[in-house]
Amino acid sequence: MTVPGFWEEPERAQTIVLEKKKLGAVVEPIDRARRLLDDGEVLAELGEDDPDAVDADLDKTHSEIDRLLHDLEFRLMLGGEHDAKNAICTITPGAGGVDASDWAEMLLRMYVRWAEDNGFEVEQYDFQRAEEAGIKSVTFIVRGPYAYGNLRAEQGVHRLVRISPFDGQARRQTSFASLEVVPELDDEIDVEIEDKDLRIDTFRASGAGGQHVNKTDSAVRITHLPTGVVVSCQNERSQHKNKAQAMKTLRAKLYQLEEAKREAELAQFYGDRGTISWGNQIRSYVLQPYQMVKDLRTGVETSNVDAVLGGELQEFIEAYLKGVRRK
């Protein structure tokens, strides 16, 4: 980074900056822990004659070391081949009608808040509004070190139970939505895609944007015919840029499908891709008749539903990753 002209190639420079952040996330806590241990030894020596004088400082140092060791232990769980990469996420409503579309938008808000609270950047690539309320689907990318490593713990079907705001009789409604997560792949990872296997459609962007976005067929939808995987992008003004991003997303999803054949956990999820309903959920969010969020894989639960929907997901993520690592 200190070489003259480093920023003359912005894309390459950004890649190196992200790599530095990823490495720093491991090295810096270790260095900090080492310094704290040295400080603790000095405090212990100073307190040999008068322990009460250093007790408070020693307790503070001990707590900080515990926190750093916890963070480092969590880093060890993120040792997968693509865990350090950005995450491409797609949220799709399932069974539940209008409530499911609204639930999908609630999940989007939850994950955006989680990302922002944990120092990640979020950019939407494709947002399709449902007719009555909520969304038909949304694809967004979460950028930052270990975004995929964290969010792969959230992949699956999410179930909501509440009094439906769309039911005139105020009946309790169960609805479902799924989160699909794939890593953003580097260009050097080769995924063979033949032109004859693609159907490419262009359409007018439906989201908010400048006059060019909404008045030209700049949005792109690509269907991979052999697998049925569909991706789209309408974030950019340029049809060329939207197509490039859609192809990047398609490559990531096809790569993940191949990986799923070798990983039973992902294979099970992808085998049920079309069933976002009863029996497939990884987590339940109950708002009525009581309040409870429970992860059905790990048993972790909390009654603080508002906090979870506000993005406090780390307890669920860590419990899942610990369980996977033990296996």
Q: Taking residues 94-109, what's their average pLDDT?
A: 93
pLDDT at 206: 63
Assigned architecture for domain 87-189+263-326: 2-Layer Sandwich (3.30)
Q: Which of 6-20, 109-123, 144-158 has the lowest mean pLDDT?
A: 6-20
pLDDT at 264: 52
Q: Hey, what are 45's tokens? A: 């020596």
Look at strands 229-233 and 219-224 and give their pairing: antiparallel
Which of 172-186, 195-209, 283-297 has the highest average model confidence (pLDDT)? Answer: 283-297
Q: Report whether pLDDT(61) > 70.
A: yes
Q: Which of 6-10, 108-112, 304-308 has the lowest mean pLDDT?
A: 6-10
Sequence-ordered alpha helix ranges (H) in the chain: 10-46, 55-77, 98-117, 147-151, 211-215, 239-260, 264-271, 305-309, 314-326
* Identity of the amino acid at 292: M
Q: Report whether pLDDT(211) > 60.
A: no
Q: Taking residues 262-282, what's their average pLDDT?
A: 55
* Identity of the amino acid at 260: A
Q: Taking residues 264-292, what's their average pLDDT?
A: 68
Q: How confident is the model at residue 217 (pLDDT cuts 50, 70, 90)?
A: low
Query: Are the C-beta atoms of 79 and 61 separated by less than 8 Å?
Result: no
Q: How confident is the model at residue 213 (pLDDT cuts 50, 70, 90)?
A: very low
CATH for 195-260 is 3.30.160.20
Whole-prediction pTM: 0.70
Q: How confident is the model at residue 15 (pLDDT cuts 50, 70, 90)?
A: confident
Q: How confident is the model at residue 270 (pLDDT cuts 50, 70, 90)?
A: very low
Q: Please tell me what DSSP assigns to residue 218.
A: -
Q: Taking residues 103-109, what's their average pLDDT?
A: 96
